[in-house]
Amino acid sequence: MEKTGAWDRLGAEPPPAFPGAILNVTNRCNLKCAHCFIYTDGNPNDPTHDIPDDELLAAVERVRDRHGVRGMLWMGGEPMLRWRLLERGLELFAKNTITTNGTVPLKDFGPDVTYVVSLDGPRDVNDPVRGEGVYDRVRQNLLALPENFAPTVQLQCVVTKQNQHRLAELVESFVDTPVDGIAFTFYVPNEGENSERTWTDAADREAAVDAVVELKRRYPDFVWNSSRALELMRPATAKLVTDNCPTLRTILPLYVENGQFTTPKCCYGNNSDCDRCGAWVVFAQAAKLPGPWDEVLPPTKHKSRGAADFEAGMAEPLRRE
């Protein structure tokens, strides 16, 4: 379906306001995951394509002031490969999230920062996708965090048709560690995609939603998906949410192309299939906002874990990893 308010946002007058933005600070990465769209879509994995720090930060500041951005999600590639840039960039926003593959040691950037660390499942599920030894490296890094480490550390697992039966093992192996919680985000395919990772529609996805609902029941504090957000993913409401995607109005995705910012349809690119979108951020925001889905699933007084207010919703993870 046609989505509005996305492609032309950077030049629009008056400039639309966005509480949050996401920025790809580099295409470089120390991993080469099988499913990576950053790495495989012809993006050069080459440091010479990075915009120099001063130039990039000045551009970020201009976008922040033009669009009233209050929170930034820093992503890549692997953004921690440019941690000196991040250190300065974090000063520009009240809230910051860094999405990382977790193989690079995390730096203590203070309590207003959230790290989102990607894992796809237990070792034998994760490593065939992300690389041999990656699960153990990530786990070692997370277990080695000092007790007084100030940032929030959250795992993110992309649920697919392939790993939907192995999610409990991942939760069980991190629930008693320094990790603060986990969010499950459901794979967002491109239009026409029919891979082994995807479901055909929201009905086909229900067993995977049920698996996360059960984990939420067993680990209500550790699993950060809200119950309402999960219920909204069911067939009766999923399309009502994605047809009225809240993140199009709240999050400005910034790609760097030929030395300047461009903005795709959404943070999943221009070709993502909205009808099968299961992004956590989309449903988490819908769970907190009024919308046509309320008529089918009236809101309750339930308050979700994680970002307690809508403004903070932008700080939730967005990656398709």
CB of 49 to ligand SF4, least distance (A): 14
Beta bridge partners of 183: 156
Provide, rounded to whole angstroms, the least separation between the CB of residue 73 and ligand SF4: 13
Cα angle vertex 205, ends 200, 206, to 5°? 140
The residue ranges that bind ligand SF4 (CB under 6 A) are: 3, 29, 31-33, 36, 38-39, 76-78, 101, 188, 242, 245, 247-248, 265-266, 268, 272, 274, 277, 279, 282, 321
| C-beta closer to ligand SF4: residue 43 or 227 | 43
| Residue written as token pair 């394509």 | 49
* In the complex, least distance from residue 111 CB atom to ligand SF4, rounded to whole angstroms: 25
**Shortest spacing between CB 5 and ligand SF4, in angstroms:** 10
In three-state secondary structure terms, 310 is coil
CA–CA separation, 208 vs 199, rounded Å? 10
Task: For residues 36 and 41, give the distance between their C-alpha atoms in angstroms, rounded to a whole number.
Answer: 8
Composition of the chain by helix, strand, coil, percent to 5: 35, 15, 50
* Smallest separation, CB 245 to ligand SF4 (Å): 3
Tokens 């699993």 belong to residue: 223
Nearer to ligand SF4, 114 or 247 (CB): 247
Name the residue nearer to ligand SF4 (CB basis): 222 or 225. Answer: 225
Closest CA to 159 of 205, 101, 222: 205
Q: Which is nearer to ligand SF4, 85 or 222 (CB)?
A: 85
- Closest to ligand SF4 by CB, 175 vs 289, is 289
Q: Which is nearer to ligand SF4, 164 or 185 (CB)?
A: 185
CB of 102 to ligand SF4, least distance (A): 9
- Residue 17 Cβ vs ligand SF4, minimum distance, rounded to whole Å: 18
Nearer to ligand SF4 by C-beta: 33 or 155? Answer: 33
Closest CA to 139 of 124, 156, 123: 123
Q: What is the DSSP string of 165-196?
A: TSHHHHHHHHTTSS--EEEEEE--PBTT---T
140: enclosing H helix or E strand: helix 134-143
60-83 as b/e, with b when 16 or more CB fall inside 10 Å? Answer: beebbebbebbbbbbbbbbbbbbb
